Structure 1
């Protein structure tokens, strides 16, 4: 992945992203998240690469929604700018999984309290105190609500939840895989070849998933489908799947 959206960042969003990516505490938490999630529990990557993929895809989805006339929540409710919402999205996406360093169970809550001081420290360099605190709560909401079962209440949070679900190409499943098993989980996880995010026609955002075989539909439903269901932005997202070399067109998947 070339992280084109991250590379296109400028101004304060770029500075804040660079601070996050170089922050010793953040990098250590991400490293420990992989020791816990991958090494001890058998999940796939929940470390720095996952953070970058989710951040990149979240930026892309947010930009598409804004281009299509859907105003981010911080702009609408707090009179912020699109740049402010972009910063909220970047920080929430990058930090959403660091709580795995504590435990996979309720990791969304662990991520929120581990992130708070990091977020405040960085934001106070660029914003006045009140605005920094406002943005902190929005970021913490996005982190807390990225897990299934908790409804995202802002556009920014929903974007992060959906972006989290898009990191599911083969070798990167969000579902724990038994390496010695040959079941629907393992077959499906190995079937997702590519995920493409683009502007849609009927709905603002179109996600295309290219599969090597139809077993990948299970992965789409269980991973991306659940994220979309709880994102609060379900009405803005369409998902299409195509089995590579078997079917010439994408077929829409309804959740």
Structure 2
């Protein structure tokens, strides 16, 4: 969680508020009860929230370094720290709606997050700016699901980061506990996901697999997130089978 550890200033204070907020922690706990215990999905709780927040911030920083300006900076005259806060909060809260139901969980997450985010932001920003940033965060939360285009850079970072949390035991595809199918095999095949600054494209995502079945996981989970993120032109994905090839090969999404 190197990016979360690097946070400072207002971003760090807001992260600490999220970490210690009783309502947020309860919603994340209930999200796991609903998603994991009742529906057979993998973690959608606090660990997932931290991983997605960390990876989204990393993606945002690389894009900014490569002169892809965050939307709030470009269109609302905000600072990079403002965009970082939008990305942090949106990523951390994007899955709290699972506590209500997996179906339409992105919508549930948005309305559950509204009061939480508004209360936190008003401590650090003017009322007008707090409302501006609130709408950006709610957009990012709502548009993290496949089928809904991410309109801002910050939202796109969150959508892609959500897809990167797919190592074995953390698959976004539910595993059938009583069968041996492509979903189960693929979900258990992703050993490691690394986000790097690329050469031709700003973001390079490397995935190490234990077997080729993991390609299905990359295409169906990460690929779909990238395709709806608005950031597809800035991202390349490479994979290799750990014990079969020393070379990463680009994956067509």
TM-score, normalized by the shorter chain, greater than 0.5: yes
Q: Which residue of the partner structure matches residue 119 of structure 2?
A: 121
- Counterparts of 1:1-255 in structure 2, within 5 Å, are 3-255=1-253
Task: Work out the number of aligned pairs and report it.
Answer: 253
Pairwise CA distance, 1:16: 0.3
How well do the aligned residues superpose, as a CA RMSD in angstroms? 0.4
Unaligned runs of 5+ in 1: none
* Counterpart Cα distance in 1 of 2:195 and 2:243: 21
Residue 61 of structure 1 aligns to a residue in which SS? helix
Pairwise CA distance, 1:181: 1.2
Pairwise CA distance, 1:70: 0.6
* Counterpart Cα distance in 2 of 1:106 and 1:171: 24
Pairwise CA distance, 1:254: 1.4
Unaligned runs of 5+ in 2: none
Residue 207 of structure 1 aligns to a residue in which SS? strand
Superposition TM-score, scaled by structure 1 size: 0.99
* Counterpart Cα distance in 1 of 2:178 and 2:170: 17
* Counterpart Cα distance in 1 of 2:132 and 2:252: 36
Which stretch of the first structure deviates more once superposed, 176-185 or 63-72?
176-185
* Counterpart Cα distance in 1 of 2:204 and 2:168: 20
Pairwise CA distance, 1:116: 0.2
* Counterpart Cα distance in 2 of 1:60 and 1:29: 25
* Counterpart Cα distance in 2 of 1:23 and 1:236: 35
Residue 103 of structure 1 aligns to a residue in which SS? coil
